[in-house]
Amino acid sequence: MDFDLTDEQKLIKETVRRFADEEIIPHARDNDVHGRFPADIIAKMGAIGLLGGVVPERYGGSGLDFIADAVIFEEIGRACSSVRTIVSVQVSLAELSILTWGSEGQKTRFLPGLCKGEILGAFALTEPHAGSDAAGIRTTAIKKGGGWLLNGSKTWISTGNRADISIVFAKTSPEAGAKGISAFIVGKDSPGFTSTEIKGKMGLRSADTASLFFHDCLVPEDAMLGKPGDGLKIALASLDNGRYGVAAGCVGIIQACIDASVKYAKEREQFGRPIAGFQLVQDMIARMHVDAEAARLLVYRAGHLKNKGVRNTLETSVAKYFASEAAVRAATDAIQVHGGYGYSDEYPVERYLRDAKVATIYEGTSQIQKLIIGEHLTGIKAFV
């Protein structure tokens, strides 16, 4: 594995960093305070190709490799985790799921619009009674006439209110258990589909989060993604992609904590000198840097395997687990470096902590990641 970014990847990094500095960071605090969805930012990203990810150009994508994809997630995560969450769902979950499992008709119908940001996508797996236990979903889809009738609900769905299409998982053969789950592409205008916003979140306040409801929601037969019974397989494979985006975004959070802490520590004076000269302040900043370097390399290793087309569930789980926990550590230390000011929204570090915490929960909790890692090492499932 070559640890140096290619010229193309360096250019992408510079382009995204400039965009983040000019278009995202100036509005991040205000959008967070007011819970404002950054639709204008997402539209601009789509217009310059930052939503195309690894989707081939023939489907309207950017045709990037997975390392370049990680670079984009990191730079956006450095600026605003709410925006990064929206982009991760759009690219890693909606686009890649359709690219991997969709029919040619579904790819040509949905991917160009998703890559340009003309339509938004969501990934609807989690339910009130089924979070970590993905196989325990209760939403059903029954064949009716020339389509499928969906009944049930989903919760904690990122971009759920704003999405034009949602990839929805439902049981088409409940008696078959996990093997009876299928996936559907459901349009927001489907009869019987409604959504409500989840309010009062600790972080990601400018990223839309929703509960979705399906009451005799009728979708056409060709709305199914993949084949009947492919649902859980699609979900787990898609989560590998989603976790990769989260991990790369967390590297961005750690880097943002370093940048903010170094700047503040060099400006803030106590006892007649900058606090950057205090050993314990340097200790916290040094730990952030080590975590950033380690997390970045773990992400790149997973991306390297993705580029080779090699299964990377273990490596992606390792990267997601380490990077998300490290982001929380870095944000906690960044607040400590800032002292009392770090506890207010005058500085961005308190937002970094609020946004980092959810990364240890969604796309599989840290505890689930450890069970995935443990299963790979021992060959024994800790859960069924």
- Give one DSSP letter per residue of 50-99, joined into a string: TT-TTS-GGGT-----HHHHHHHHHHHHHH-HHHHHHHHIIIIIIIHHHH
- How far does the chain reach from its first CA to its final CA, in angstroms? 35
Distance of CA 321 to the CA centre of its chain: 13
SS3 329: helix
The half-sphere exposure of 375 on its side-chain side, counting CA atoms within 13 A, is: 13
Residue 110, strand partner residues: none
Nearest C-alpha neighbor of 76 from the set 50, 112, 40: 50
Nearest C-alpha neighbor of 258 from the set 292, 231, 226, 228: 292
Nearest C-alpha neighbor of 45 from the set 15, 6, 68, 81: 15
Let me know if 221 is a catalytic residue.
no
Nearest C-alpha neighbor of 110 from the set 127, 128, 122: 122
Widest CA span of the chain, in angstroms?
79
- Which residue in 95, 127, 325, 363 is the catalytic one? 363
145 CB-contact burial (10 Å; exposed 0-12 / middle 13-18 / buried 19+): exposed
SS3 41: helix
Q: What distance in Å separates the CA atoms of residue 96 and residue 116, rounded to the nearest whole number?
A: 14
Residues carrying an active site annotation: 363
